[in-house]
């Protein structure tokens, strides 16, 4: 990713049934590389921001954007990274 000079993250979750863990995957849209895959019992804003921060703390390049097919207020947390 260093040769790209930036990343655009995609976050997506798959919940098989209500009450079960959700598998969250964060990948770089430019390279297609999966950067994190983790299960969570919750899909609260704070939990998703924590996942994004976990990825952000491992990157040596800036995050130019975060995309998702969900509607949640992660965009308001941009100042965290």
**pLDDT tens for each residue of 33-54:** 999 999 988 778 889 899 999 9
Mean pLDDT throughout 6-27? 87
CB of 25 closer than 8 Å to CB of 11? yes
Which pLDDT value is given to residue 72? 53
Which pLDDT value is given to residue 78? 46
Closest CA to 63 of 53, 73, 51, 72: 53
Residue 52 structure tokens: 């994004």
* pLDDT over 50 (residue 81): no
Handedness of CA 66, 67, 70, 71 (dihedral sign): positive
Per-residue pLDDT tens digits for 47-75: 989 999 999 999 999 999 999 876 554 54
């Amino acid at each position: 990713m260093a040769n790209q000079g930036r990343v655009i993250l995609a976050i997506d979750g798959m919940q098989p049934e209500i009450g079960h863990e959700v598998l969250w995957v964060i990948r770089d849209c430019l390279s297609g590389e999966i950067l994190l895959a983790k299960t969570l019992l919750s899909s609260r804003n704070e939990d998703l921001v924590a996942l994004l921060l976990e990825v952000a703390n491992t990157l040596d390049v800036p995050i130019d954007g975060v995309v998702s097919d969900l509607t949640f207020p992660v965009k308001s947390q941009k100042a965290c990274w």
